[in-house]
Structure 1
Amino acid sequence: MILYLHGFRSSPGSFKARVLAARLAELGRSDEWCCPMLPVSPVETVALAESLAAGASKVTVIGSSLGGYFATHLAEKHGWPAVLLNPAIVPQRDLSQYLGEQPLWHGGGSIVVEPHHLDELRALGVEAVTRPERYYLIAATGDEVLDYREMLAHYPGARTTLIQGSDHAISEFPEYVNDVLAFCDALPAAEGDMIPYSAGARQAR
């Protein structure tokens, strides 16, 4: 299973989710794709992800922005490989200015962010990742929402693609979709450790 967790105020209709879904469809692998609409509650989001993944023989989680924060929690808890796309590192800080009703980016509607949601985010935090080979970070220096330097500092030793420029949405994501799927396809070794997809970091654009 490839489990995609979208970002704050986003949806399964987000740009990167659509690119991934289309590529998997081209490969005849749509049955592996799972991209739910996430609830506003972080605790409920994690519970939903875990319920969807229950019984799957192999799970890779892809998280964008706030979804990357959840993906990191799940990777540490369950040993899942994780792809992180401009992930949030301290969302309880970043989202403190968004308390109250907030419009969704896609399809209309809104969510209501309450103070206890920030507490839930804080409780899900991962102070330091273990086994960095489990992670593939794609970060953009031009991210206008989150600081890519925080991302790099939080995932030392992880497979990393640092895009020069770009934006929070990673508008060039179609150029990286095959890299993402190649990482997802890396098989765990018998002892449960990931076979390294690649060593070190590479610069992009």
Structure 2
Amino acid sequence: MILPIAPYLYLHGFASSPRSAKAQYFADRFQALGISLTIPDLNQGDFYHLTLSRQIHQVEDLLPTHPPITLMGSSFGGLTAAWLGERNPQIDRLILLAPAFQFLAHWEPKLGAAQMQQWQSEQSLVTYHYGEAKPMAIDYGFVTDLAQYDEAEIQRPVPTLILHGEQDEVIPVQASRAFAAHRPWVKLIELPSDHSLANVQSDLWQAIQDFCRLR
């Protein structure tokens, strides 16, 4: 089903869902301003075959052809949003929450070489899916697809706000610092939080309102 498009879209993170705490918090905040926030389900009922390419194509099918469009994304949804901003000129503003830059470089060491080799051999890895609150399998195609993307190629000067926790244990804030360092159109705000950003939701919302001139 194609969702009705609002000028604001939110992309949830890896192994998450439109029901996540951040997604619902922002939906409520935008609704209070009379603005609809479209939150597609990036799992598509088939988490096993999820890839960055699939997420990009799914959202591109939802995008209207004319600007302005503000795209928000959390973690892996933030990485997806960054690539969508590169490829789609009708997107004129990006808000990235702890974006998953250098995702494989951070994830592979945590899994370890043995588990990565097992994943490649068996073509399946069981990981915890927070949106479904249970372990779920994902295909090794997730890795091979993601390895094709070089973040150095993200160069379209889309006004971008990055909000990242200084104590992020999943994607270190250094990943966002490196991304912003040579892109003057990117504003990075570091916050006293971890990857969830759960304790700074009001700060996130204040920064987003300022960036989007919503007040």
| TM-score bin, normalised by smaller chain | 0.7 to 0.9
How many residues matched?
183
CA distance in 2, matches of 1:23, 1:111: 31
Q: Tell me the C-alpha RMSD between the 2 structures.
A: 2.2
Alignment counterpart, residue 194 of structure 2, candidates 158, 167, 189: 167
In structure 2, the residue matched to 1:41 is 51
The answer as to whether partners of 1:102 and 1:111 remain within 8 angstroms in 2 is yes
Q: Please give the per-residue CA displacement for 1:13-58, whole angstroms capped at 9, x wherever unaligned.
A: 112111110011111112xx11111132222111111111134542
The change in CA–CA distance for 1:54 and 1:95 in structure 2 (over 3 A counts) is farther
In structure 2, the residue matched to 1:27 is 33
TM-score (norm 2): 0.76
Alignment partner of 1:67 is 2:77: yes
The change in CA–CA distance for 1:177 and 1:42 in structure 2 (over 3 A counts) is same
Q: What does residue range 97-136 of structure 1 map to in structure 2 within 5 Å?
A: 97=111, 99=119, 100-132=125-157, 134-136=159-161
The Cα of 1:92 is off from its aligned counterpart by 2.7
Alignment counterpart, residue 24 of structure 2, candidates 18, 21, 26: 18
The change in CA–CA distance for 1:132 and 1:148 in structure 2 (over 3 A counts) is farther
The change in CA–CA distance for 1:125 and 1:62 in structure 2 (over 3 A counts) is farther
SS of the aligned residue for 1:142 comes to: coil
| Identity, % of aligned positions | 25
The Cα of 1:185 is off from its aligned counterpart by 5.1
In structure 1, the residue matched to 2:178 is 153
In structure 2, the residue matched to 1:92 is 104
Q: Which runs of 5 or more residues in structure 2 are unaligned?
A: 1-6, 44-49, 120-124
Q: Please give the per-residue CA displacement for 1:179-198, whole angstroms capped at 9, x wherever unaligned.
A: 21442458xxxxxxxxxxxx
The change in CA–CA distance for 1:141 and 1:104 in structure 2 (over 3 A counts) is same
The answer as to whether partners of 1:69 and 1:125 remain within 8 angstroms in 2 is no
Instruction: Give runs of ≥4 in structure 1 deviating > 6 Å.
Output: none
Q: Please give the per-residue CA displacement for 1:135-186, whole angstroms capped at 9, x wherever unaligned.
A: 11111111121110121111223112111x3111112122221321442458
CA distance in 2, matches of 1:54, 1:176: 26
> Which of the two has higher C-alpha Rg?
2
The Cα of 1:121 is off from its aligned counterpart by 1.4
The answer as to whether partners of 1:19 and 1:174 remain within 8 angstroms in 2 is no
Q: Please give the per-residue CA displacement for 1:79-133, whole angstroms capped at 9, x wherever unaligned.
A: 3221111111112333443851223213435542222211211223321542555
The answer as to whether partners of 2:85 and 2:156 remain within 8 angstroms in 1 is no
